[in-house]
């Protein structure tokens, strides 16, 4: 419990009795035999609660309480008066001088503990509320500072809506800056398409060189839309980065590359379902050993990757596992596949499969996506990406985009 209580009473037996009662219940106790001693002790180290006798020689309890309440350092410490008198006028005076409660003598153990616990709990709640208010004030001050800075930098904005829209656009650019920085890697070429349904989205993907012989890639889709989803996707991109940050999951301290299944297990451990936001995410993560053209990958509830070998029809590789965050302590597995030169791997979010030109029209679906790939036979992956982008624009038309659309195409050299 460890709450500190100061007992002020000129009668040694009362001090001893109350001290025994409170220490037996786990409280720390300090004793003061008179008003002057109490004031000096309390000012030096304010306690959590004061039990204050009214009738004392010299300075009585009323005067002690007045001085405590006049001192900024001690005015918020709750005071419970102690007295043998049961006179209403004395009780009224006790409350008017700043007391919060009143215990009559002789003391009843249950009453003393009940009143002490009640006021300590109230004090705790008050402290928490004060801290919350102070934190909010600091947060609001910070927001005000940022708002003024943004207004100074964006004087052309005429209203709050435009400012918010601008902020979201900036956030979207920041999110886009986390996408792949280049398209050509050791043994792998990449193309991609990213169309969030708002300025910022819950999809994110990347491809990167893990070492001289291995290229890593992922595509993930956070449930929901808007700021919450975007913030989680950006956070995940930091965990799935190769920039040397201490919390990246892709490599270990020894320099060893973390396997795809272990990356999934670590993500599932760190990002369990947010009940309030009902937020989870799907992801596919793979590593291509470009020396022997071997792919090792794992998936967590994500749309199946499409494997498209040269002169063969594209096929989807199903992978059965739950999204990250839904099943605690789930053990994710991985699959290894040999790839031939010219093979293409196509990763995508479900937003592209749900495309329709008009309400009620059949969705594009996985079969529709594969048909598009077949029609692009002989094209470069850049041309294929451009063709898919045009189909996306045609499908959307003037309709509102309902989900983020992400596409990542990899070609093995």
Task: Mark whether 197 and 284 lie in a shared domain.
Answer: yes
Query: Does some domain include residue 384?
Result: yes
For residues 32 and 5, the answer to whether their CB atoms sit within 8 Å is no
Looking at 85, 102, 126, which one is the last position of a domain?
A: 126
Query: Does some domain include residue 156?
Result: no
Task: Mark whether 105 and 242 lie in a shared domain.
Answer: no
Domains in the chain, number: 2
| CATH number where 183 lies | 3.60.40.10
For residue 220, give the nearest of 198, 246, 238 by alpha carbon.
238
pLDDT tier for residue 101 given thresholds of 50, 70 and 90: very high
Give the model confidence (pLDDT) of 369-408 as tens digits: 888 889 998 899 999 999 988 888 887 766 667 788 899 9
Looking at 126, 144, 166, which one is the last position of a domain?
A: 126
Task: Mark whether 232 and 341 lie in a shared domain.
Answer: yes
Angle at 123 between CA 119 and CA 127, to 5 degrees: 170
Give the model confidence (pLDDT) of 298-315 as tens digits: 999 999 999 999 888 899
Task: Mark whether 311 and 195 lie in a shared domain.
Answer: yes
Number of H helices, E strands in the chain: 11, 16
- State yes or no: pLDDT of 73 exceeds 80: yes
Task: Mark whether 184 and 102 lie in a shared domain.
Answer: no
Task: Mark whether 119 and 189 lie in a shared domain.
Answer: no
Supply the DSSP string of 73-99, one letter for each residue: TTTTS-EEEEES---HHHHHHHHHTT-
For residues 190 and 196, the answer to whether their CB atoms sit within 8 Å is no
Task: Mark whether 358 and 270 lie in a shared domain.
Answer: yes
- State yes or no: pLDDT of 290 exceeds 80: yes
- State yes or no: pLDDT of 173 exceeds 70: no
Task: Mark whether 182 and 92 lie in a shared domain.
Answer: no
Domain holding 56, by residue range, is 4-126
For residues 266 and 285, the answer to whether their CB atoms sit within 8 Å is no
Task: Mark whether 116 and 183 lie in a shared domain.
Answer: no
Query: Does some domain include residue 392?
Result: yes
Query: Does some domain include residue 165?
Result: no
Give the model confidence (pLDDT) of 189-215 as tens digits: 999 999 887 666 788 999 999 999 999
Higher pLDDT, 86 or 4: 4
Task: Mark whether 121 and 187 lie in a shared domain.
Answer: no
């Amino acid at each position: 419990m460890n709450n500190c209580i100061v007992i002020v009473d000129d009668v040694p037996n009362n001090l001893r009795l109350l001290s025994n009662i409170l220490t037996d219940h786990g409280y720390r106790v300090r004793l003061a035999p008179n008003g002057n001693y109490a004031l000096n002790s309390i000012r030096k180290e304010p306690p959590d609660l004061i039990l204050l006798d009214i009738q004392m020689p010299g300075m009585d309890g009323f005067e002690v309480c007045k001085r405590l309440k006049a001192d900024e350092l001690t005015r918020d410490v709750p005071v419970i008066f102690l007295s043998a008198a049961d006179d209403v006028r004395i009780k009224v005076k006790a409350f008017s001088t700043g007391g919060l409660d009143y215990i009559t003598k002789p003391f009843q153990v249950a009453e003393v503990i009940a009143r002490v616990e009640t006021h300590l709990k109230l004090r705790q709640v008050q402290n928490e509320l004060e801290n919350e208010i102070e934190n909010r004030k600091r947060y609001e001050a910070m927001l005000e500072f940022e708002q003024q800075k943004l207004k100074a930098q964006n004087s052309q904005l005429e209203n709050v809506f435009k400012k918010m829209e601008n902020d979201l656009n900036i956030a979207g650019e920041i999110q886009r800056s986390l996408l792949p920085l280049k398209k050509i890697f050791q043994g792998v070429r990449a193309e991609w398409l990213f169309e969030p349904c708002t300025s910022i989205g819950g999809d994110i993907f990347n491809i990167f060189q893990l070492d001289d012989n291995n290229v890593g890639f992922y595509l993930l889709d956070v449930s929901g839309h808007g700021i919450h989803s975007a913030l989680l996707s950006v956070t995940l991109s930091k965990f799935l980065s190769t920039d040397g940050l201490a919390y990246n999951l892709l490599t270990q301290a020894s320099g060893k590359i973390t396997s795809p299944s272990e990356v999934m297990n670590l993500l599932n451990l760190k990002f369990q379902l947010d009940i309030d936001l009902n937020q989870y995410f799907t992801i596919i993560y793979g590593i291509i050993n470009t020396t022997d053209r071997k792919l090792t990958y794992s998936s967590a509830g994500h749309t199946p990757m499409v494997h498209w070998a040269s002169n063969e029809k594209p096929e989807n590789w199903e992978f059965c596992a739950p999204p990250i965050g839904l099943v605690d302590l789930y053990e994710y597995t991985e699959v290894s596949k040999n790839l031939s030169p010219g093979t293409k791997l196509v990763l995508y979010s479900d937003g592209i499969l749900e495309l329709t030109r008009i309400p009620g029209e059949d969705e594009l679906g996985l079969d529709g996506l594969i048909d598009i790939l077949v029609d692009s036979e002989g094209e470069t992956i850049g041309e294929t990406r451009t063709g898919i982008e045009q189909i996306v624009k045609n499908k959307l038309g003037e309709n509102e985009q309902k989900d983020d659309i992400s596409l990542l195409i990899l070609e093995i050299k």
